[in-house]
Structure 1
Amino acid sequence: METSQNRTLKGPLYCPLLEQMREDNLNNNNTQVNLVVVCIHGIFSSLGILENALIIWVLGFRLRQRTVASIWMLNLAMSDFLATLTLPLFTFYFYSSHSWELGYPLCIVQTSIFFFNMFVSAFLLAAISLDRLLLVSKPVWSKNHRSVARAWKLCALGWGWAALNTLPYSIFRSVIEKADSRKLCYHHFALYLSSEDSLEMDCNVRQGATAISKFLLAFFFPLVVIAGSYIKIALSLRNRHRRRNLFSQSFTKMVTSVIAAFVLCWAPYHIFCILEMAAQYNKKIFKLVQVGLPVSATFAFLNPVLNPVLYVFSCPHFCVRIRQSLGAVFDGLVEEDVSFALPGSPKTSKSSSYQSPGAELPLPLLSKGRRDSQTDQTGQ
């Protein structure tokens, strides 16, 4: 009987979990089901690319005046656009009966962008939440320090931080051939600096470190920051009895929707990644992960497709504005109406020459037609 150690002498070392995946044959022979999945995935791929490209065009090239809110949205859209560009690769993977036939370079590209988008999205959503909190808790500081230039610098920091965290997932990614000749684009934690003696420990440490770190850094900690920020905001508004007109209601609605979509799309993926650490020791968990992890990854891929829809439909008077111009849809969404006064001072109006702390001018309509005067009167 050939042992796993004897097998490793004839070829490269594989982690125990990866060895099980190589030998396992999932039944993906239902042609009709696979065809439906491929078609649906292809449609969402095309929509995601078009949606995010349109948002980047509007926010990046059509707006004549930027706000901090528009910078947050633009960077989210750019990250989502990169992620949706890799969706056709995943569609082809389904089309090829769950076999990666696109080669090692595209395997690295797809993996890197997937994790990069995960970290960038988490960072930006946490930054947006802290930005909202600062507007409430430190209005004077926000008035003096909050700017588009600083928002760009913070976004650049987030992109650099995401790239750094993506490196381990790119380094330990490889294309592995299975026993049934299909190919996996998957983590190969024994790829570097591993020996037969240290194989199991190396695999457990590396898999555990990557799974837990991405759960903490790209999900749990950002979620704590997001939840804590909005709880603090709610308490502050209740104490001041000034709930209305603190922010643009449309932007607050959009942020809430995007955060909810982020949690719903990414939570299953992180849960299955944690379960995967125990899969090599339990057959039932292994089978569950084998089926559930690809499905949860598909849900995660849906996040950058859903975000543009949430951006657009969070805009007040959507149907009216879409008839005016594409830019008009985002005019009421990224403007920042934070017309509140400092404690003890009277509230100011939009017509006043005084601009409230942290407030920014509304974004102008892009169309050459007239601006709907009723839009400004609603404060949206």
Structure 2
Amino acid sequence: MEANFSIPQNGSEVLFHDSTTSRVIWIFLVVVLSITFLLGVLGNGLVIYVAGFRMAHTVTTICYLNLALADFTYMASIPFQIISIVMNGEWLFGLFLCKFVHMIININIFLSIFLITFIAMDRCICVLHPVWAQNHRTVNVARKVIVGAWLVVLLLIFPHFIFLNTVRDERGKVHCICNFESWTTTPEEKAKVSTIVSLISVTINFIICFSIPLIFIVICYGLMAAKIGRRGFVNSSRPLRVLTAIAFSFFVCWFPFQLIFLLGNIGNKETLNNIDMWVNPASTLASFNSCLNPILYVFLGQQFRERLIYSLSASLERALREEPALNSDKVRNLSSQTEYSET
């Protein structure tokens, strides 16, 4: 997500030129990011309050709480992105914030998709193996998985954090980029190492943060649909509606950004010239995803307008609450139906 406020690692700089169209795009991006910041702080803050302090901790609420924490933390990077867009990619905030802001962004990218995938797998287990889920699906297990996800994310972003540095270009502008000068002795070696490392990083990021999670989520939905879709449970299940909307919005918002940076590192010079103008819009769309989840929680709740008038926090509670689908009666019914169908 560095494109908003740094030179992409292939060396091309995203600039806004003095044209009417570019100025309109520039204003639009700043407005969208500002709206994202306001909605994201308010919405995710409310989710953290409701899921963290107003509701009993279940597997579902813990997952959505951590997702809101990742999005809420990400909001701290948006003012820096706005200023960097205004400054045409120049970084004005020093080395520490260069590393810290990028760390926040990468944590949000990795942790969000890990949590969404985990929620999809959790719902799939509840549908396919309700008896096992009732006995083994506990809050402590969920907490251990989420803590493990945080540790894996920190491990994945550590190399990026180490090599980020502030670099002054030939025009005197400072940029926040990955710098490999300590690994090389000549400009040619620096360019070669930078290209190779950037290609590996972007490819791994596309695979880990997009392709593999998408495959897992599609498989989970396929298994759930095959198991209970014909019984009409999927369409009436609130947790599945919420999860579907969250997963769909994540991939729609992030796909342009992931694709542009993948093409930017494997394409030729002509490809770079064609996609440069789309880097900031794609990055802004990805940022907008961080304020969507609280809106989806509320709008997907039953009787949204009545709840919103009555209590916004109560609406969030109902949207985030774990569906009582695993009580003993329903577990026995689903289990008996499964055994009957298998015989």
TM-score, normalised to structure 1, is: 0.78
Match of 1:293 among 279, 290, 296: 279
Paired residue secondary structure (1:343): helix
Q: State how far apart, in whole Å, the 2-side matches of 1:168 and 1:143 are.
A: 40
Paired residue secondary structure (2:183): coil
C-alpha change, 1:222 and 1:28, in structure 2 (3 Å) is farther
Q: Which amino acid aligns with 1:210?
A: S
Q: How does 1:305-344 map to 2 (within 5 A)?
A: 305-333=291-319, 334-338=321-325, 339-340=330-331, 341-344=333-336
Paired residue secondary structure (2:34): helix
Deviations 1:279-304 (A, max 9, x none): 5xx33222234222222111111111
Deviations 1:141-169 (A, max 9, x none): 10111112211111111111111111122
Contact 1:315 1:332 survives alignment (8 Å): yes
Q: Which runs of 5+ in 2 are unaligned?
A: 1-6, 339-343
| 1:267 alignment partner in structure 2 | 255
1:208 and 2:194 aligned:
no
Contact 2:165 2:177 survives alignment (8 Å): yes
**After the TM superposition, which of the residue ranges 314-323 and 209-218 deviates more from structure 2?**
314-323
Q: Rg larger in 1 or in 2?
A: 1
Contact 1:66 1:148 survives alignment (8 Å): yes
Q: Which amino acid aligns with 2:34?
A: G
- Larger relative contact order (CA 8 Å, sep ≥ 6): 2
| 1:53 alignment partner in structure 2 | 45
| 2:10 alignment partner in structure 1 | 17
Contact 1:247 1:337 survives alignment (8 Å): no
| 1:351 alignment partner in structure 2 | none
Q: State how far apart, in whole Å, the 2-side matches of 1:166 and 1:29 are.
A: 37
C-alpha change, 1:85 and 1:270, in structure 2 (3 Å) is same
Q: State how far apart, in whole Å, the 2-side matches of 1:235 and 1:39 are.
A: 44
Contact 1:49 1:81 survives alignment (8 Å): yes
Q: State how far apart, in whole Å, the 1-side matches of 2:42 and 2:60 are.
A: 22
Q: State how far apart, in whole Å, the 1-side matches of 2:112 and 2:314 are.
A: 25
Q: How does 1:244-259 map to 2 (within 5 A)?
A: 244=233, 249-259=237-247
C-alpha change, 1:191 and 1:112, in structure 2 (3 Å) is farther
1:27 and 2:20 aligned:
no
Q: How far does residue 325 in structure 1 lie from its aligned partner after superposition?
A: 2.5
Q: State how far apart, in whole Å, the 2-side matches of 1:142 and 1:253 are.
A: 20
| 1:74 alignment partner in structure 2 | 65
Contact 1:29 1:97 survives alignment (8 Å): no
1:186 and 2:177 aligned:
yes
Q: State how far apart, in whole Å, the 2-side matches of 1:298 and 1:36 are.
A: 10
C-alpha change, 1:324 and 1:157, in structure 2 (3 Å) is same
C-alpha change, 1:40 and 1:133, in structure 2 (3 Å) is closer
Structure having the larger proportion of residues in helix: 2
Contact 2:199 2:266 survives alignment (8 Å): no
Match of 1:243 among 222, 226, 232: 232
Contact 2:126 2:133 survives alignment (8 Å): yes
Contact 2:29 2:284 survives alignment (8 Å): no
Q: Percent identity?
A: 27
Q: State how far apart, in whole Å, the 2-side matches of 1:310 and 1:252 are.
A: 12
Q: How far does residue 36 in structure 1 lie from its aligned partner after superposition?
A: 4.8
Q: State how far apart, in whole Å, the 1-side matches of 2:76 and 2:245 are.
A: 23
Match of 1:120 among 111, 115, 120: 111
Q: State how far apart, in whole Å, the 2-side matches of 1:49 and 1:191 are.
A: 38
| 2:99 alignment partner in structure 1 | 108
**After the TM superposition, which of the residue ranges 259-268 and 95-104 deviates more from structure 2?**
95-104
1:62 and 2:51 aligned:
no
C-alpha change, 1:198 and 1:114, in structure 2 (3 Å) is same
Q: Which amino acid aligns with 1:199?
A: K
Contact 2:36 2:287 survives alignment (8 Å): no
